[in-house]
Copies of this chain bind each other. A is one copy, B any other.
Amino acid sequence: MTAKNLFRIFLLFSACAIQLLGPLACRGPGKSAAADYEGAADALLRKGLNERGAYALLEKITSVGHRLTGSPQAAEAVELTRRLMVEMGLDNVRLEPTTVGRWVRGEAECRLESPLSETQRLDALAVGGSEATPGGGIRAEVLEVLSFDELAAAGERAAGKIVFFNRPMDPAVLDTFGAYGAAADQRVRGAAEAARAGGAAALVRSLTTRLDDFPHTGLMEYDPDAARVPAACLSTRSADRLSEALKRDPAAKVFLRLDCRRLDPVVSHNVIGEISGTEKPEDIILLGGHLDSWDVGTGAHDDGAGCAHALEALRLLKGLGLRPKRTVRAVMFMDEENGGTGGRDYARAEARRGEKHLAAVESDRGGFRPLGFGIGRNEREFAPFRKYENLMKRVGLCWLRPGGGGVDIDPLAESGTLLIGLVPDSQRYFDYHHCGRDVLEAVHPRELELGAVAMALLAYILSQDF
């Protein structure tokens, strides 16, 4: 596009924007009209995009390295974000303990052995929480399946074999979280189902629509009443290579060695800081992300971005002198990835007595261009927010709609907290999720900042109006 016609287009768009934003509907229980927040919205956007503070915060958070639950790096990140909150001048900066499990990945070795071809290395990582392979590793034939039903139908053929779950994430689904949810059973339950079928181990195709050499790890569950067999994820290219090889030689074997270890639980922390409300400090608007990450890459999108969003939102409000009537609190949750203990312990902590959490906003879908907020569990909870949609468009969102929540804030629902989730565009998220590519450079400063601006504006509205 040349510059020539840009002035014209710019003016046209400006005119449209004014048309769209002009006559704001005024219904719902809010005490202020949406129009009252236009100044705040513009100031937040301007300051945010000028300073791009979220990226600077994320740079610091990811400088620690990965932040696996219970790791020394996670402890370092706790201290780092506590210090950042103090430096930002937040009120009541503190740590709240949460006892977390510890698991150490160790090395992974995986290769394909067939008399029909040379031995090939397969790019593999232990699935998070996996047992180690016994002794010097497992060498076994492979049963490839696309579903648990197919595994069940295989009957005795699974006995002693490495079960290879190779159903790809469906690329045709627009919402990649939906496609992920529909394929994640293989990683979460693969080892348990393989064990039930008599298998020796599980291999799982990585949950991404990208074709590359990065294995994507993530949580798994064992069944208490079944054997605990080791499980590893394969990069999508390695999964394709293995599948091809099995077509040529169904008796090809895989050698798998995993060195994982489980250590004793350890006390870790949620990190909390806030801007105390000027009128109702006991009423809380919570903004949260999770500080822990998987131990590959540096958890930049998952969920350094969410932590940066929450911290930056408070930095923007404070910097602009937007004093909330209710308390706006940032929480860096610990252990979202390995059991969600941080979120649960936060909700039931003694310190919650005397507090009322009106709303909790979670950002745990990456630092991409934000599209909207999912708000409340149903139309009734959502309805009061409809009138703010045009206001939110002013800072770059496209919509507000029902459907909020997240692992860290869900435990607050019991006490009546309104659950809200930030929804960035999801097209690129699973290129990075839980793999070595999830590093600072994968995050765009402007895209990240827009998430923080939207969260700051929403928190401000919630703190004044509800």
Q: Tell me if A193 counts as interface (CB < 8 A to partner B).
A: no
Contact of A3 among B16, B180, B403, B406 (CB under 8 A): B180
User: Could you tell me if A428 and B407 are in contact, using CB atoms closer than 8 angstroms?
Assistant: no
User: Could you tell me if B3 and A395 are in contact, using CB atoms closer than 8 angstroms?
Assistant: no
User: Could you tell me if A336 and B396 are in contact, using CB atoms closer than 8 angstroms?
Assistant: no
A433, closest chain B residue (CB): B1
Asked, given contacts A14-B178, A20-B401, A403-B13, whether A4 binds B396 with beta carbons under 8 Å apart, the answer is no
Bound complex: CA of A46 vs CA of B170, how far in Å? 10
The residues in A between 254 and 287 inclusive whose CB is less than 8 angstroms from any CB of B are none
Q: Tell me if A318 counts as interface (CB < 8 A to partner B).
A: no
Q: Tell me if A66 counts as interface (CB < 8 A to partner B).
A: no
Residues on B with beta carbons closer than 8 Å to the beta carbon of A447:
427-428
Contact of A9 among B46, B50, B177 (CB under 8 A): B177
Q: Tell me if A219 counts as interface (CB < 8 A to partner B).
A: yes
1/0 contact trace for A1-28 toward B, CB 8 Å?
Answer: 1111111111011111001100000000
Residues on B with beta carbons closer than 8 Å to the beta carbon of A444:
427-428, 431
Shortest beta-carbon distance, A71 to chain B, in Å? 17
User: Could you tell me if B181 and A219 are in contact, using CB atoms closer than 8 angstroms?
Assistant: no
Number of A residues, CB within 8 Å of B: 72
Residues on B with beta carbons closer than 8 Å to the beta carbon of A139:
none
Shortest beta-carbon distance, A288 to chain B, in Å? 13
User: Could you tell me if B1 and A365 are in contact, using CB atoms closer than 8 angstroms?
Assistant: yes
User: Could you tell me if A45 and B174 are in contact, using CB atoms closer than 8 angstroms?
Assistant: yes
Binds B, one of A31-39, A118-126, A153-161, A182-190: A182-190
The residues in A between 336 and 392 inclusive whose CB is less than 8 angstroms from any CB of B are 336-337, 340, 364-365, 369, 371, 374, 377, 379
A175, closest chain B residue (CB): B13
Shortest beta-carbon distance, A370 to chain B, in Å? 10
User: Could you tell me if B209 and A336 are in contact, using CB atoms closer than 8 angstroms?
Assistant: no
User: Could you tell me if B2 and A336 are in contact, using CB atoms closer than 8 angstroms?
Assistant: yes
Contact of A425 among B12, B188, B425 (CB under 8 A): B425
Bound complex: CA of A43 vs CA of B167, how far in Å? 22
Residues on B with beta carbons closer than 8 Å to the beta carbon of A297:
none
Bound complex: CA of A396 vs CA of B104, how far in Å? 40
Bound complex: CA of A236 vs CA of B379, how far in Å? 48
Contact of A6 among B177, B374, B401 (CB under 8 A): B177
Residues on B with beta carbons closer than 8 Å to the beta carbon of A446:
171, 209, 427-428
Q: Tell me if A198 counts as interface (CB < 8 A to partner B).
A: no
User: Could you tell me if B2 and A49 are in contact, using CB atoms closer than 8 angstroms?
Assistant: no
Contact of A2 among B47, B407, B428 (CB under 8 A): B407
A1, closest chain B residue (CB): B364
1/0 contact trace for A174-210 toward B, CB 8 Å?
Answer: 1101101110110110000000000000000000010
Q: Tell me if A410 counts as interface (CB < 8 A to partner B).
A: yes
User: Could you tell me if B425 and A10 are in contact, using CB atoms closer than 8 angstroms?
Assistant: no
A430, closest chain B residue (CB): B446
Q: Tell me if A328 counts as interface (CB < 8 A to partner B).
A: no
User: Could you tell me if B10 and A50 are in contact, using CB atoms closer than 8 angstroms?
Assistant: no
Q: Tell me if A230 counts as interface (CB < 8 A to partner B).
A: no
User: Could you tell me if A3 and B172 are in contact, using CB atoms closer than 8 angstroms?
Assistant: no
User: Could you tell me if A3 and B450 are in contact, using CB atoms closer than 8 angstroms?
Assistant: no
Shortest beta-carbon distance, A427 to chain B, in Å? 4
Bound complex: CA of A184 vs CA of B1, how far in Å? 12
Shortest beta-carbon distance, A390 to chain B, in Å? 11
The residues in A between 425 and 449 inclusive whose CB is less than 8 angstroms from any CB of B are 425, 427-428, 431, 444, 446-447
Q: Tell me if A101 counts as interface (CB < 8 A to partner B).
A: no
User: Could you tell me if B410 and A5 are in contact, using CB atoms closer than 8 angstroms?
Assistant: yes
User: Could you tell me if A9 and B405 are in contact, using CB atoms closer than 8 angstroms?
Assistant: yes
User: Could you tell me if A3 and B181 are in contact, using CB atoms closer than 8 angstroms?
Assistant: yes
A47, closest chain B residue (CB): B172
Residues on B with beta carbons closer than 8 Å to the beta carbon of A65:
none
Give me 8 A-to-B residue pairs in the complex whose CB atoms sit less than 8 angstroms apart, sorted by A's number: A9-B405, A10-B182, A12-B402, A16-B402, A369-B427, A371-B398, A427-B446, A427-B447
